[in-house]
Structure 1
């Protein structure tokens, strides 16, 4: 669902550096969209029609291999833009991955035509777009390094602690962890079984209880 909205630019502090005429063009030429949880925002083979700026919610960007394995590349949260959309808009390419609404989402949709005009005419808007883009690319290289070189037990311990936050329970399947960490479900299952054998966790269907956070934290520190 698309709606007009007031001054949504206040949700993006970096836009305050744009000249007022450019801000007005953004406000007048863009729409705020509401997307339901679980909806596919974009998918492989599709061409982006809008540049999205997130107001509320989270989009998960993930890619699947030919054998069906998935890896979560990154998430787009409030105040952020999608680096893959930026890349495809600038390069006139189709999406190689998909974006899924992890929660209900509200986002600003800037039409491709307006995006192209501002990229060409506004140095401040270019700086806003490419600063976010470069930050995300740097994070993607970190993910590639982790998948290629980091031990899976260390990364799994880190993810367990991150998802648990200040609680001692994590609601996720073995396949969820495999997708997050770019591994196979069987590898994750074996590692969780080893954590359970050591008395660090207690695993049930779709849920993991953290028993020894100190041991997991020690492992997570590498």
Structure 2
């Protein structure tokens, strides 16, 4: 079990470049946990004393809108990714969002957050790896926010399909996909149907396969290119 935990830690981007000797003490404290679809690792506002690393499957991290009627998916974490890792590096950490399992089976590796903090803060190589990882994740989150604000649903869905469905892939439910893309299930269903009729994807039940990646790529970047063209053609203010 310790060897498997050490292997997972060594391949996790958060510890990229760290020495095996630095990871071994953490692996000795780790424990694997199996979960099924719909189970929560934690909910927003709960004390967070465990650092979770996905071993297999996927976990969706989301926040509830005011009134609890809508969800905003912040990101989906797959194998070797941390779940709400930043919060776990704070003393007396509180979960800033909720984390729910997307598929069965999903397995996560849990590490005591306090022990991880102590080890990372006292080991320069680990600290450097963790800081670099969180810098990359911040850039990814900013890109996601920009996409939600400035892009159309077709662009966001095309980008999602290209990122996740290069091989036959089980789609989340329309509700989960809508939360991930910042829209409502009805529009997701309509847009998936449109992509299917245009032969951009093959869809059987919830299994999707991309059949025209070039056109999906054009759709995914088209809105941004149009926006840039508009900026270039716009006359300077005051003229």
CA distance in 2, matches of 1:80, 1:62: 16
Match in the other structure for 1:32? 31
| Cα deviation, residue 45, structure 1 | 1.3
Structure 1: stretches of 5+ with no match in the other structure? none
Quickly say closer, same or farther: Cα 1:155–1:7, change in 2 above 3 A: closer
Residues 170, 206 of structure 2: 8 Å contact kept: yes
Quickly say closer, same or farther: Cα 1:117–1:172, change in 2 above 3 A: closer
Structure 2: stretches of 5+ with no match in the other structure? 223-239
Deviations 1:10-52 (A, max 9, x none): 33144663473x4443233x12222212221111111111222
Deviates more, 1:147-156 or 1:205-214: 205-214
Match in the other structure for 2:47? 47
Q: Give me the TM-score of the superposition, normalised by structure 1.
A: 0.76
Q: Give me the TM-score of the superposition, normalised by structure 2.
A: 0.71
Alignment of 1:10-89 (within 5 A): 10-11=7-8, 12-13=10-11, 14=15, 17-18=18-19, 20=21, 22-28=22-28, 30-38=29-37, 39-66=39-66, 67-82=68-83, 84-89=84-89
Residues 72, 181 of structure 1: 8 Å contact kept: yes
Aligned residue pairs total: 213
Alignment of 1:210-221 (within 5 A): 213=212, 215-221=215-221
Match in the other structure for 1:183? 183
CA distance in 2, matches of 1:211, 1:81: 28
Residues 51, 112 of structure 2: 8 Å contact kept: yes
Residues 30, 111 of structure 2: 8 Å contact kept: yes
Quickly say closer, same or farther: Cα 1:53–1:204, change in 2 above 3 A: closer
Question: What is the SS of the residue equivalent to 2:2?
Answer: coil
Quickly say closer, same or farther: Cα 1:86–1:116, change in 2 above 3 A: same
CA distance in 1, matches of 2:177, 2:209: 15
Residues 61, 72 of structure 1: 8 Å contact kept: yes
| Cα deviation, residue 205, structure 1 | 10
The answer on 1:154 being equivalent to 2:155 is yes
| Cα deviation, residue 85, structure 1 | 3.1
Match in the other structure for 2:226? none
Match in the other structure for 2:227? none
| Aligned match for 2:6, one of 5, 9, 17 | 9
The answer on 1:105 being equivalent to 2:102 is no
